[in-house]
Amino acid sequence: MSKLVKEGIVVSDKMDKTIVVEVETLVEHPKFHKYIKRKKKFKVHDERNEAKKGDRVKFIECRPISKDKHFRLLEITEKYVGLGDEQ
C-alpha cells in the first residue's frame, strides 16, 4: 500500500509543531466540461517548526498524530521570498 504524497502552500504556522497547508486541485465539471479550482486545507506535523507561511511543501500520509493531523512534513520544496514585511 503506497502512502499519499501531496504538495501545497503553507497558509498558517502559528501552532506549535503544526502547519496548515492548502492544496489546490483542478476538477472537471461533469456537465459543462470546464475545469474548476478546488482548495482543501490539511494540518501537517512539522517536528522542527521549519516551514513558514508561504512556503511550498510536500507532505505524506501517516498514522493519526492528533484528532485532525494525519500527515507529516516530507520536505520544503520552495521557500517563500517576500518583501520582508510579514512576520
User: β-strand 35-45 against 56-61: which pairing, if any?
Assistant: unpaired
pLDDT for 53 equals 95
> What integer best gives the mean pLDDT of the chain?
94
Chain segment 71-84, per-residue pLDDT in tens: 999 999 999 998 76
Are the C-beta atoms of 57 and 73 separated by less than 8 Å?
yes
Judge whether residue 87 has pLDDT over 70.
no
Instruction: Give me the residue label for grid cell 514585511.
Output: 85
* pLDDT tens-digit map of 13-28: 999 999 999 999 999 9
CB burial of residue 40 (10 Å; 0-12, 13-18, 19+): exposed
Residues 6+ apart with CB under 8 A from 2: none
